[in-house]
Amino acid sequence: MTSIQGIARIEDAEGKPRLALLRADGTWHVALLESTLAQVLRNIDESSDIRSVLATLAECATPLDDTPNSPKWLAPVDLQECWGAGATYRVEPADLETMRRDRPPYAAAYEADRPLLFFKAAPGRVAPPDTWIAIRPRSRQTIPEAEIAILISPGGHVVAATLANDVTALDLELENSLYQPQAKVFDHSLALGPYWNFGDSLADILGTPFTCRVQRSGETVLEQTVDPARLTRSTDVLAAYLSEATTFHDGAVLLTGGGASVPPGFALAEGDQIVMEHPLLGTLVSRAEAPQK
């Protein structure tokens, strides 16, 4: 088997979850692995990395004969909590003055040594690729936030990266910063995927700009470019703060923060298609829906 580039969770023809391994040549090796992603992460220690763990598992696995060319993606988490980071992208001096005036808690977090971290989603609330993300009930301005997410081992090491849509009820967050948990945490407020990339260096991934487009009735109503090279905090530092007082036996996911703002008044509408594209991480597509409670 050629070297392994990434790992995904997919659904097979019988509706069972499988671990799919992406080869360096771009083809998928769908294996009948007993292991979950959590078990894979638990096997990583100081003397091994995720490549060697997966290579060992792949040698013992039985490939499926009907490996799909277009897998039915599952969310790339099983038991991992998902957390977020904020105020992580470089702010120009004039914009920082505005932030100090209009959003002082976020300005203070931006200038502090300790990063702003928050709980985002339990694994069961994460939207898989090619499915829907939610427009929050009782929100007038739910927006997408295109981010890079990192996968953290139980030992606190960053082992892989993927795309993330940190869906946010911006109007609630702006109304009162103490409302941030309500603005960030709701059903299908996070999409991840399509797969975890550990074959490319994290430096290359974070050094590569990526895009986010919102398409409505065939027209592009929002187009953003995010440059993760503008991150002011390293992923190792973010992972260390997340792990300093909390144990993640099954690993964890951490979103590294939003690096592009939306125009004033922009809000997702039902039926919008959100397309995130990164040259090294692939494409994450979601559609916006307004669930009724």
What percentage of the chain carries pLDDT values higher than 90? 74
- Ramachandran area for residue 258 (φ above 0: left; ψ -120 to 50: alpha; else beta): beta
CATH of 81-289, one of 3.90.850.10, 1.10.240.10, 3.20.20.120, 3.40.30.10: 3.90.850.10
CB distance 120 to 82 below 8 Å = yes
- Give tens-digit pLDDT for 170-225: 999 999 999 999 999 999 999 999 999 997 889 999 999 999 999 999 999 999 99
Q: pTM of this prediction? A: 0.94
Lowest mean pLDDT among 68-82, 119-133, 266-280: 68-82
CA 79 to chain centre: 15
Q: What is the pLDDT of residue 109?
A: 93
Which H or E run includes 9?
A: strand 4-11
CB distance 165 to 193 below 8 Å = no
Domain ranges of the chain: 4-73, 81-289
Spatial CA neighbour of 153 closest among 77, 220, 62, 253: 253
- Give tens-digit pLDDT for 26-70: 777 666 555 789 988 998 876 677 877 877 776 766 555 445 556
